Amino acid sequence: MAISIYQNLSHLGPEAADIGLTIVNVVVATTFVVQMIGPLSVRFAVNKAGEIGRDVNEEDIIESYIVADLIEKDIPTIHEDAHLDALVERIKESESYDFCVVDRQKKLLGTISIGDLRDILLEQEVDLNVLIFAKDIAIPVSRVIIADRPLKEAIDIFRRKELDFLPVIKDETTHEFVGLIHYREVMAKVHKELLHRRESG
């Protein structure tokens, strides 16, 4: 519009053209100032009002993480050749409920839960001296997640498949086991971080 005014005034003589040029310069300068200072002023006002951070939601927190950020790394592993009596003793010494069976290269072979082991001992009345190894009773995993994948992918698997935990592997080539993530623990950390960001914002 300012340029249109300038063009119209230019037809009225040199003085009118100067006025039109002045109008154009004022509009351009004002626009520049608004573009530079406007966003900073808005942020300052929102911050003073205590509104920054309040619009952060659960999905924002989830999208800010990758799986590796929330891995439970101190999960006991059981070697595939571990004898049944040694397996029972290992479980007695641990507070975990889920155990991952690996080979010598730490490749994930399957999982054993306390419930799985109890069922085997009770239903089949297995003698601990019988030659049964961890690899014989390990349950093949139906789902795993790679450590460097977005956490959102793991959350989607948890919710879609109704799983309690997911084994985490280094990559698809080696299937090297690196830890576990449990849905409840992950969501508890997400909600804690959400509360922190809202309070600190």
Check residue 125 and give left, alpha or beta (phi > 0: left; psi -120 to 50: alpha).
Answer: left
Is the same domain home to 85 and 143?
yes
Is the same domain home to 23 and 97?
no
Measured between alpha carbons, how far is 96 from 119 in angstroms, rounded to an integer? 17
Check residue 53 and give left, alpha or beta (phi > 0: left; psi -120 to 50: alpha).
Answer: left
Residue 79 lies in a domain: yes
Measured between alpha carbons, how far is 1 from 136 in angstroms, rounded to an integer? 81
The letter for the amino acid at 109 is L
State the 10-residue block means of pLDDT for the chain, 201 residues long.
48 55 58 59 51 74 96 88 86 85 95 84 62 89 95 96 94 94 95 90 61
For residue 31, CA distances in Å to 4, 34, 35, 86, 137 come to 17, 5, 6, 76, 72
> How many structural domains is the chain composed of?
2
Is the same domain home to 172 and 126?
yes
Is the same domain home to 101 and 65?
yes
Q: What range does the domain containing 73 cover?
A: 58-195
pLDDT of residue 185: 95
Is the same domain home to 75 and 169?
yes
Is the same domain home to 22 and 112?
no
Measured between alpha carbons, how far is 166 from 181 in angstroms, rounded to an integer? 5
Measured between alpha carbons, how far is 88 from 96 in angstroms, rounded to an integer? 13
CATH (domain of 83): 3.10.580.10
pLDDT of residue 113: 87
Q: Element (H or E) spanning 178, and its range?
A: strand 177-182
Is-contact 88 118, C-beta < 8 A?
Answer: no
**DSSP 8-state code for residue 53:** T
Tokens of 155: 């959350």
Is the same domain home to 72 and 33?
no
Report residue 124 CA to chain centroid gap. Answer: 41
Is the same domain home to 113 and 160?
yes
Dihedral sign computed on CA atoms, order 41, 42, 47, 48: positive
